[in-house]
Amino acid sequence: MSDEEWAFFEPFVIERGPRRGRRPRDHRLVLDGVFWIARTGSPWRDLHDHFGKWSSVYRQFRRWTLSGVWDVLLAALNDSGEGRDSVQMIDSTIVRAHQHSAGAKKADAQDEGLGRSRGGFSTKIHLRANGLGLPVAVVLTGGEVSDVNGYAPVMAEPGPAPKVLLGDKGYDADAILADLEAKGIAAVIPPRRNRKVQPVIDGHLYALRNLVERCFSKLKHSRRLATRYDKTADSYLGFILIASTRLWVRHFVNRT
């Protein structure tokens, strides 16, 4: 990672206060190892020796994940007020799950965001993005879960509330439209063909919905996201949040 990226991540990943136990490793190198796994999609055991022992890097990744570091990072970026939050987009994408992602201990497939869809064994990522095409909130479900059922969980996630929400026809449901109206959020969602009354939507505003699709495309540059290899939902979601945070940081770095 660049020095600018490390300057952002450092306060969140380095523990402060009294030191207990062993001296901490070089957290920048460990975090680089986590980024390398996310980008290449390689198994943990194939981690290059340059980053240290793979098991140590993996354990640190799990500690950061279970402590909620990645959630805090994304929340801090959303709270920065730099995301053009008044207009947001919602969408989902199905990710094929590798056979090695099955079999988490003491959990069934639904608990780990795995299911069966027309694409086979899969996970669905539900995403809310802001007016810059940057992630606001992410939720995992099994691949068979519809966009309608994924709407409430992703809208309930912490993050700035939109004034306008863009979505495709998969979100054209009476319950969703009623919920948005009750919250004072304008819905720009094209109607399904079977609606008797076909409302007119703002085509120029709806064209911005491509930002969430482009966001998915950028996230899937990280091959650990494009195919799910992780058995647990928290590890897979951790990689998604890492990739999301890096999109934010690169936006700030490139802007300056």
Q: How confident is the model at residue 115 (pLDDT cuts 50, 70, 90)?
A: confident
| pLDDT, tens digit (0-9, with 9 covering 90-100), for 37-66 | 999 999 999 999 999 899 999 999 999 999
| pLDDT, tens digit (0-9, with 9 covering 90-100), for 122-173 | 999 999 999 999 999 999 999 999 999 999 999 999 989 999 999 999 999 9
Q: How confident is the model at residue 3 (pLDDT cuts 50, 70, 90)?
A: confident
- Using alpha carbons, select from 140, 128, 131, 153 the residue that is nearest to residue 74: 128
Instruction: Give the per-residue pLDDT at 255.
Output: 64
Query: What is the Cα–Cα distance from 193 to 247, expressed in whole angstroms?
Result: 36
Query: What is the Cα–Cα distance from 167 to 188, expressed in whole angstroms?
Result: 7
* Burial of residue 197 (number of CB atoms within 10 Å: 0-12, 13-18, 19+): exposed
Q: List residues bridging with 96 in a β-sheet.
A: 122
pTM value?
Answer: 0.90
Query: What is the Cα–Cα distance from 245 to 230, expressed in whole angstroms?
Result: 19
Q: How confident is the model at residue 116 (pLDDT cuts 50, 70, 90)?
A: confident
| pLDDT, tens digit (0-9, with 9 covering 90-100), for 93-103 | 999 998 888 87
- Using alpha carbons, select from 82, 203, 182 the residue that is nearest to residue 134: 82
Please, are residues 156 and 196 in contact by the beta-carbon 8 Å criterion? no
Longest Cα–Cα distance of the chain, Å, equals 68
Query: What is the Cα–Cα distance from 6 to 204, expressed in whole angstroms?
Result: 38
Please count the other Cβ atoms lying within 10 Å of the Cβ belonging to residue 14: 11
Q: 3-state DSSP call for residue 140? A: strand
| pLDDT, tens digit (0-9, with 9 covering 90-100), for 183-196 | 999 999 999 888 88
Instruction: Give the per-residue pLDDT at 15.
Output: 66
Instruction: Give the per-residue pLDDT at 237.
Output: 96
Query: What is the Cα–Cα distance from 142 to 124, expressed in whole angstroms?
Result: 6
Query: What is the Cα–Cα distance from 142 to 125, expressed in whole angstroms?
Result: 9
Q: What is the mean pLDDT of residues 211-231?
A: 94
Please, are residues 114 and 123 in contact by the beta-carbon 8 Å criterion? yes
Query: What is the Cα–Cα distance from 124 to 111, expressed in whole angstroms?
Result: 13
CA–centroid distance for 251 within its chain? 16
